[in-house]
Amino acid sequence: MAKIKIDDKEYDTDKLSADAKKQIAALQVVDGEIRRLQVQLGIAQTARSVHAELLKAALA
């Protein structure tokens, strides 16, 4: 009997419809993809910062 909280209301996942369970699974996939993209963005921002500093050094 797992619980999920949506908009400050708690739901028993065992009692949800198949469609609601499908939407929860889809949200979990999307949330995982967002986390993955945030990590990728952090990597890209770090690389950009390094390249900007290297460019400044090359121009000096």
In a domain, 21, yes or no: yes
In a domain, 36, yes or no: yes
In a domain, 53, yes or no: yes
The pLDDT of residue 28 is 96
The pLDDT of residue 10 is 97
Tally the residues of the chain: 60
Into how many domains does the chain fold? 1
Q: What are phi and psi of 4, to 5 degrees?
A: -135, 140
In a domain, 38, yes or no: yes
- Average the pLDDT over 35-58 and give the result: 98
In a domain, 37, yes or no: yes
**How far apart are alpha carbons 11 and 36 in whole angstroms?**
28
- The pLDDT tens digits for 1-46 are 799 999 999 999 999 999 999 999 999 999 999 999 999 999 999 9
Around Cβ 54, how many Cβ atoms within 10 Å? 10
In a domain, 24, yes or no: yes
Please tell me what DSSP assigns to residue 2: -
- Which helix (H) or strand (E) is 10 found in, with range? strand 9-12
In a domain, 7, yes or no: no
The pLDDT of residue 58 is 98
Domain housing 44? 17-59
In a domain, 4, yes or no: no
The pLDDT of residue 40 is 98
